[in-house]
Amino acid sequence: MSPAFRTMDVEPRTKGILLEPFVHQVGGHSCVLRFNETTLCKPLVPREHQFYETLPAEMRRFTPQYKGVSCSR
């Protein structure tokens, strides 16, 4: 894990976090970034966002865990 992620846990008032490129991407989105060991960030696609927000509970165990939306620069 990069030092930026460890710092985030200790110092919640930091001005930002460094996202690392996700090197294991095989296709799909043009820019997938790694937030930590279990979380990826990718560009928001409205239709995909709506899908995860309205996903029936019965289907959640068959899909990647959706953690919500975050703003980045």
Q: For residues 67 and 64, what is the distance between their CA atoms, to the nearest angstrom?
A: 9
Q: Enumerate the domain spans of the chain.
A: 19-73
User: Which tens digit of pLDDT belongs to each residue from 10-69?
Assistant: 455 567 788 888 877 766 657 888 899 899 888 888 999 999 999 999 999 999 899 988
Q: For residues 59 and 17, what is the distance between their CA atoms, to the nearest angstrom?
A: 32
User: Which tens digit of pLDDT belongs to each residue from 45-60?
Assistant: 899 999 999 999 999 9
Q: Are 36 and 5 in contact (CB under 8 A)?
A: yes
